[in-house]
Amino acid sequence: MTLGFIGTGTIAAAMVEGLGGKDVLLSPRGADVAAALAARFPGVRVATSNQAVVDGCETVVLAVRPQVAEEVIRALRFRPGQKVISVIAATGIEKIKDWIGLDMPVIRTIPLPFVAEGRGVTPVFPPDPEVMALFDRMGTAIPCATIDEFDLLAVGSAIMGSYFGILETVQGWLTSQGLPEVTARAYLGGLAACLGTVAETSPAAFATLREEYSTKGGLNEQVFRVFSEMGGTGALTGGLDSVLARVTGKGK
């Protein structure tokens, strides 16, 4: 099937790359990115307008920022029989249908940049078989039975900045103690990569892994204990609570 993308930002570009650039129609928004993708992949075409994208495909991917989504979508004319895949954050299905003006299938997804490498883990709601198969081509599609499940996974995806922020903080501390920055960066990057592999491949609970990688009375146990005592875990939980409120429309 031909996929038409409304919006050509980071996530749209990652999806195009993860799919190998086959049968893709891009909107002219993000002209530089669209032109670069078309130059790399013979199967990518750049349409003359957003409406031309909608007219030229059966499945439309909405990949615009939430702040401009209503304006962009209301200006388009969809047709019965089309399917919409939304990657727009914190924007419900009924709201998108209202902007479209038709009662048509709208499937929400949360693709992350890793889909470009075929390593994405993408929540899908509702778990439409065709859309599930599409994201399985870019890694693993995670079916969500309810919108509550989908929203919770959206909150889980919000830890990426914090993950790198922890590495940034440790690197800064190491360099403040006299370690060369390049050495700290190389060591922490390798350590994080190894731990990520364990997290992905081990069937053990994260609590079990924490204990396995923390010798009783040892250094790893000490850091996590002090982190918790100084409010680190509480602050993280508070951040997740605030994001859930935002995602579900119950806060900002």
The CATH number assigned to the domain holding 162 equals 1.10.3730.10
Flag whether pLDDT at 148 surpasses 60.
yes
Report the relative pairing of strands 24-26 and 139-143 from DSSP bridges: unpaired
222: domain range?
158-247
Indicate whether 140 and 166 sit together in one domain: no
- pTM, entire model: 0.93
Report the relative pairing of strands 3-6 and 24-26 from DSSP bridges: parallel
Indicate whether 240 and 116 sit together in one domain: no
The number of folded domains in the chain is 2
Q: How far apart, in Å, do the first and last CA atoms of the chain sit?
A: 38
By the 8 A CB rule, do 33 and 53 touch?
no
Q: Please say which residue of 124, 145, 166 terminates a domain.
A: 145
Between 232-247 and 147-156, two packed helices, what is the crossing angle to 10 degrees?
A: 140
pLDDT tier for residue 29 given thresholds of 50, 70 and 90: confident
Q: What is the pLDDT of residues 194-228, one digit of tens each?
A: 999 999 999 999 999 999 999 999 999 999 999 99
Burial of 115 by CB count in 10 Å (0-12 exposed, 13-18 middle, 19+ buried)?
A: buried
In a domain, 153, yes or no: no
Indicate whether 175 and 235 sit together in one domain: yes
In a domain, 17, yes or no: yes
Indicate whether 187 and 132 sit together in one domain: no
- Measured CA to CA, the distance from residue 16 to residue 115 in angstroms comes to 9
3-state class (DSSP) for residue 233: helix
Give the CATH number of the domain where residue 132 resides: 3.40.50.720
Residues 107-120: what's their mean pLDDT?
97
- Measured CA to CA, the distance from residue 27 to residue 31 in angstroms comes to 8
